[in-house]
Chain A
Amino acid sequence: MGGRSGQRVLPWRVRDLSWISKIQVNQPAVLRRAEQIQARRPVKKEWQAAWLLKAVTFIDLTTLSGDDTPSNVQRLCYKAKYPIREDLLKALNVHDKGITTAAVCVYPARVCDAVKALKAAGCDIPVASVATGFPAGQTHLKTRLEEIRLAVEDGASEIDVVINRTLVLTGQWEALYDEIRQFRKACGEAHLKTILATGELGSLTNVYKASMVAMMAGSDFIKTSTGKESVNATFPVAIVMLRAIRDFFWKTGNKVGFKPAGGIRSAKDSLAWLSLIKEELGDEWLKPELFRIGASTLLADIERQIYHHVTGRYAAYHDLPMS
């Protein structure tokens, strides 16, 4: 992933608020679409196994708890490197595909631990750090920017920032744009993932507008939620964000990534997310550079499903290594 910033045409700064002035999202229609899309593209058998393995490579394996310590961060990093039992991968003949999770995502104070652990494991999985007063974003802009710089200094190559919901709810789109621009600058070479905290934006129309502003300001990814709000990644919200991503691509030619986070726990959910991306944006978005799933317990369920696919048996708790 490190090489990607080289390909990017920087900066893709556009600031055209007319793009969001007329937009109207019809919530009941989006809810219907969300309901349909989950039932229309089931995948079974070896397709399911292959899709699940692919889903593993999209995971930002996350721990964001008050009780995180170097030891559990280290465990997490090893799990990121070896997400699925080697024999299962061999059985599916994909052991040489270098399947790891896409990144490890931690609090800023744990970035050093994660970088160290991954170096020890001998892999180049990027470390993502949340920042800017995560999860509420209600701290001074100065400290929020400083937080980003410190995390980058510690070795985080991806920064998940939260936006200031106050600016959205009061309609200060230009101010929001300016703030995210400053985040962008503070990130330097690191990738910027902008968390919209969609559960707190009030309406789907606001979700679209915030997505568009975040992309115009130079985000590499837009992300649904922190995982700490009461409403997390939902399909209706995702549909609106994906449509914004596609509109932005059509207008500028730039592909922005998408990261749902929070509440994605089962393997079945992850399949629905993959098919959602495939349906709304197409295959070219189905790669770790453009699609991530923020999750902590999802990986365990995927491994269990793959175990079942390979062996025909349901795994016991001790059959699979913990993270």
Chain B
Amino acid sequence: MAATRAEPRAREIFTTLEYGPVPESHACALAWLDTQDRHLGHYVNGKWLKPEHRSSVSCQDPITGENLASCLQAQTEDVVAAVEAARTSLENWSLLPGAIRAQHLTRLAKMIQKHQRLLWTLESLVTGRAVREVRDRDVPLAQQLLQYHAVQAYAQEEALAGWEPIGVIGLILPPTFSFLEMMWRICPALAVGCTVVVLVPPASPTSLLLAQLAGELGSFPGILNVISGPAPLWPVLASQPGVQKVAFCGAVEEGRALQRTLAGKGPELGLALGAESLLLLTEAADVDSAVEGVVDAAWSDRSRGGLRLLIQESVWDETMRRLQERMGRLRGGRGLDGAVDMGARGAAAHDLAQRYVREAQSQGAQVFQAGSVPSDSPFFPPTLVSDLLPASPCTQAEVPWPLVVASPFRTAKEALALANGTPRGGSASVWSERLGQALALAYGLRVGTVWINAHGLRDAAVPTGGCKESGSSWHGGPDGLYEYLQPSGTPARLPYLSESLNYDTFGLVVPSTLPAGPETGPSPAPPYGLFVGGRFQAPGARSSRPIWDSQGNLHGYVAEGGAKDIRGAVEAAHQASPSWVGQSPGARAALLCALAAALERRGSTLAARLERHGVELKVAKAEVELSARRLRVWGARVQAQGRTLQVAELRGPVLQLREPLGVLAIVCPDKWPLLALVSLLAPALAHGNTVVLVPSGACPIPALEVCQDMVTLLPAGLVNVVTGDRDHLTRCLALHQDIQALWYFGSAQGSQFVEWASAGNLKPVWVNRGCPRAWDQEAEGAGPELGLRAARTKALWLPMGD
């Protein structure tokens, strides 16, 4: 018999059958840090950049507090260097054939495969997350993302003709999950031909390691640059010349502040905010499976944030019992232990959770904690909060990791009201074995992703994004590609900032207007009033503004709309919304066609109106004709909306739905008073939005003429037209919290104000930065860009099986 090496403990374990530690060795992560002398800089242009005289932050093991390395903090010069590298390589990279870019991404995927142990141990070591989750989900997903986007790059010339890469992308990442969030965004950006500067929070070595792996491929060193630095550098990166788009992933308030800071600075801003998710558990659910869904959502280190849990009252007791029982079996501990469900995320996350729990308790909530988790900080046990009523102040805040806040609902209708009653619109799951009910809830939820009877599934081919305050940017799938593309020929985005613009006073007061003499308009006189709720109404201010024709003669008076009129118009639009959304695309198309026919019947009047504003009669007629065509074209286009995606590792389809935004406000340009209006209105209506519209300021009369047909043809409130002082009306619209999107075509100052003010409810905005647009051209007047902006995507996961 050979010598024994068994420990005496086996006898004891035989009786207790307890779990033991399953430590994952992180020697290779430490060895990699050693190659950098435990001193990490930035990875720029394929080289390590370790400038002198920089402050540094220490990168610690969040659990032991052990000092792993020191990380240099970037300063403006370093940002400049990184952006410069990205700009230099952009020329080369963006002009390459897609196949070459695809090859490069595939090589990076192989590189990750070869060094995956290093990646997962380093990520788990520095973030404290359970290594199982990083190893079995994050790293394979990173490879899948690269492979998926390599395929997209191959197909780019054919599938994405008419689009070109935006340019240099600035990417700003949150402290947790920075590796995966980075992969979701750099893959599509690089695939379509953009180059990237990633600004990671202090002490995020995994992103640097990934940049090094990409850099070691040799070719194209400057396409991916990673620098680490604190929050004050965000606007610095965003306002570097050449940065065309900033993709931000982080907390809601940070995103809001960044949007305000960046108003007028030039780059487009894509926000992905917040981390809370929602789980809706009906009485028709397989409750045990739904409880596993809660574990997936909140207590398995899979998501950044906490979970709001809505449970039907009839199964409340049963669910709570099962949930609490299940919580007792959760294990927390060091992330590098292969047998724990949850690691720890450092002192900040612990304190955030602790504060929320204390506050909830002080507001009368019940708190249940369980699971075998070390009791000392930074570990935080799985926590279930109940009896926190919607009216208590705590409910307004986002639920932090690892908390679940449970509340009851009575009916499916009430569930939707509760679920949609928060400013968040990220992801949600619906648990019901009744297909009809599940689909009704899934379609009714205002979120970016819905899983039916599952939670937290991800795939590179499925777009992930959100609405409302979760931001309206997308990653993954086709939508993720368009984030980094623009219609070919779009001019570079330059700063158009006006330092003198006072946000407090812009458009605040309407200059008073006095009677300017008798109208000399043709007969019949144009209609007078604001077109709100399907009829012409007198403006709240009971005053009017004169409209002059190109000769300087008084053309007529239009109503002077104000804040109250906007409020009324938005209300009317909301009321009209449900029935318009419920119409089939075919029915909507038919109405648009009818409107086109009416436009043609009214053609001569409209042309005459346009002629009075200095448009040549021939051109005016052409404008009317083209406008009618636009209405018909959009009606037809929207018929073929949405698609079904097939996803690896899922039996069943993922539906990519295109849903209306809601109430869309449109401020039309002064030029092309009819064509621009119709070009904007047609895609908006065809996609199921209801509209509040401010017509051309110089020539609003054609818009009012069209309204005469809308009275009879369109449902009341579908389109509302408010005339008046454009700056004032823009202010009212931009500051309105219940408008879901805003398109502004006007002055540079107006654009800047819209960007700033829309941060209030983070509605997606589309502004022209004071630049004219060729509405008569197919690409700018009726291109696919309008369709993309007129609706939002929802990914609906439908796992199947008996």
A residues lining the B interface (CB < 8 Å): 24-33, 36, 39-47, 49-51, 53-54, 87, 91-94, 97, 202-205, 243, 250, 274, 278-279, 282-283, 286, 309-313
Contact = CB atoms under 8 A, between A and B. Distances in A.
27 contacts: A26-B453, A27-B801, A28-B454, A28-B651, A28-B652, A29-B286, A31-B801, A33-B292, A41-B339, A42-B22, A44-B20, A46-B6, A46-B7, A47-B20, A50-B11, A50-B12, A50-B17, A51-B13, A53-B14, A87-B1, A92-B10, A94-B10, A94-B14, A278-B329, A311-B5, A312-B5, A313-B2
B456 to A, nearest CB: 10
Given A49-B6, A243-B288, A312-B2, A279 B293 contact: no
B4 interface: yes
Contacts of A31: 801
A73 to B, nearest CB: 29
A28 B799 contact: yes
Nearest to B799: A28
Given A40-B132, A43-B22, A44-B20, A29 B293 contact: yes
A53 B17 CA distance: 10
B800 interface: yes
B433 interface: yes
B504 interface: no
B338 interface: yes
Contacts of A39: 132, 136
B10 A49 contact: yes
| B interface bracket (residues with beta carbon within 8 Å of A) | 35 or more
Nearest to B328: A282
B14 A310 contact: no
Interface in B333-389: 338-339, 341
Interface in B266-313: 284-286, 288-290, 292-293
Contacts of B19: 41, 43, 47
B17 A274 contact: yes
Nearest to B18: A47
Contact of A53 (B9, B10, B20): B10
Contacts of B329: 278-279, 282
Given A28-B800, A39-B132, A33 B289 contact: yes
A148 to B, nearest CB: 33
Given A26-B433, A28-B652, A243-B288, A46 B339 contact: no
Given A54-B17, A91-B4, 5 more contacts: A29-B453, A94-B10, A94-B14, A97-B14, A282-B329
Contacts of A33: 289, 292
Nearest to B338: A42
B802 interface: yes
Nearest to A93: B11
Contact of B289 (A26, A97, A282): A26
Contacts of B11: 50, 92-94, 97
B751 to A, nearest CB: 47
B7 A29 contact: no
Given A24-B433, A42-B339, A93 B8 contact: yes
Contacts of A87: 1
Contact of A91 (B6, B18, B284, B341): B6
B801 A40 contact: no
A286 B132 CA distance: 26
Contacts of B21: 44
Closest 8 CB pairs of A and B: A47-B20, A29-B289, A50-B13, A27-B801, A28-B799, A24-B433, A26-B286, A91-B4
A233 to B, nearest CB: 19
A43 B289 contact: no
A46 B22 CA distance: 11
B380 to A, nearest CB: 19
User: Max chain B CB contacts within 10 Å: which of A50, A279, A310?
Assistant: A50
B451 to A, nearest CB: 10
B13 A46 contact: yes
Contacts of B286: 24-26, 29-30
A50 B288 CA distance: 31
Contact of B341 (A30, A40, A92, A274): A40
User: Max chain B CB contacts within 10 Å: which of A49, A87, A93?
Assistant: A93
B15 to A, nearest CB: 9
B288 to A, nearest CB: 5
Contacts of A45: 7, 20
B339 A40 contact: yes
B289 A46 contact: no
Interface string B764-802: 000000000000000000000000000000000001111
A91 B3 CA distance: 9
A155 to B, nearest CB: 30
A31 B801 CA distance: 10
A268 to B, nearest CB: 14
Nearest to B289: A29
A25 B284 CA distance: 10
Nearest to A283: B17
Interface in B141-165: none
